[in-house]
Amino acid sequence: MLQNVAVVLLDGVHPFELGVVCEVFGIDRSDDGLPAYDFAVASAEGPTLTSPAGFTIGTRYGLERLEEADLIAVPAGDSYVHREYPAELLEALNRAVGRGARVLSVCSGVFVLAAAGLLDGRRCAVHWRHAEELARRHPRVRVEPDVLYVDEDPVITSAGTAAGIDACLHLVRKEQGSEVANAIARRMVVPPHREGGQTQYVDRPLPRTRCDTVGEVLAWMERHLDREVTVDELAARAHMSPRTFARRFQQETGTTPYRWLLGQRVLLARELLEGTDETVDAVAARAGFGNAATLRHHFARWVGTTPQAYRRTFRCPEPARTA
């Protein structure tokens, strides 16, 4: 059942993530034949809260409002990643799940659910920038860093910011059908379902790391992504045996030479798809994949979508011409 919805706030709540939940569940669309939810915003830290945008948020509801909710949403907030949370809130979330309610987080709101122990042994989504920190702080949580949302009923978690829309619409679709979810999406002027995961939004496919002994080789590899290279050749450039080079490479980058090279080739392909009109075949050649089929194969595995779909989403528009 999805009828009674409460959003619970902590001080420093982000307005957009709060607005996402309010937009999906807090607007009466019954004139269009859509469900009207019994919706409320509740506070876990007093009647007046601040936001990082410089304004305050007031509500007359406290944690008691959560006791009757079918769904409790926890949006993101400033410093939610590193702060402590009221014990009363964590207890209320556990009681809610215990009586059969669902909980849903948007972006860093997932840290609240993790602190409550609701994610132990479960998969979850989080903004890609926070994935490593969430996994470090909560080792019993199975972090999925490349998806828009994860439904581990009764716990639903979403990735960064707008991925909260995807998660909320997913829940509406699950409980009340595609027709209702699609109608709400049309009212919001958003797609009812997005292709791919959040991997396509990550800045780099692999993080930059300090490399004491293989740094020069990495720089050479970046300059020659279109070349076929072997570990033996790379090891010779580093003046090491292949075995020692492979071990040092893994220690300093956290991955293998082959996977590192693939990641950088995917990154170059993304940049070319965003910033040029070159064909997919030309992009594949310049990025070292050889042909479009090989590019599509690796691109889908790394980014979660096709090169053409990625280009449609991220292609930089031509500047308007002036007379």
CATH superfamily of this structure's domain 4-199: Class I glutamine amidotransferase (GATase) domain (3.40.50.880)
Closest by CA to 54, choosing from 102, 5, 14, 100, is 14
Q: How far apart are CA 35 and CA 183, in angstroms?
A: 11
Q: Per-residue pLDDT for 1 more than 60?
A: yes
**pTM for the full predicted model:** 0.67
Joined together, the tokens standing for residue 91 give 């207890």
Q: Are 26 and 60 in contact (CB under 8 A)?
A: no
- Supply the pLDDT for residue 317: 58
- Supply the pLDDT for residue 323: 47
pLDDT tens across 151-193, in order?
A: 999 999 999 888 999 999 999 999 999 889 989 988 998 877 6
Q: How far apart are CA 217 and CA 235, in angstroms?
A: 9
Instruction: List the chain domain ranges.
Output: 4-199, 215-314
Q: Are 266 and 297 in contact (CB under 8 A)?
A: no
pLDDT band for 304, please (50, 70, 90 cuts).
confident
**Neighbour-count burial of 281, counting CB atoms closer than 10 A to its CB (0-12 exposed, 13-18 middle, 19+ buried):** middle
- Supply the pLDDT for residue 200: 47
Q: For the chain, what is the mean pLDDT? A: 89
- Supply the pLDDT for residue 47: 94
Class of domain 215-314: mainly alpha
- Largest Cα–Cα distance in the chain? 73
Going from the C-alpha of 298 to that of each of 200, 229, 230, 294, 304, the distances in angstroms are 13, 18, 19, 6, 9
Q: Per-residue pLDDT for 201 more than 70?
A: no
pLDDT tens across 237-260, in order?
A: 999 999 999 988 888 877 888 988
Compute and round to an integer the Cα radius of gyration of the chain: 23
Most confident of 2-16, 128-142, 241-255: 2-16
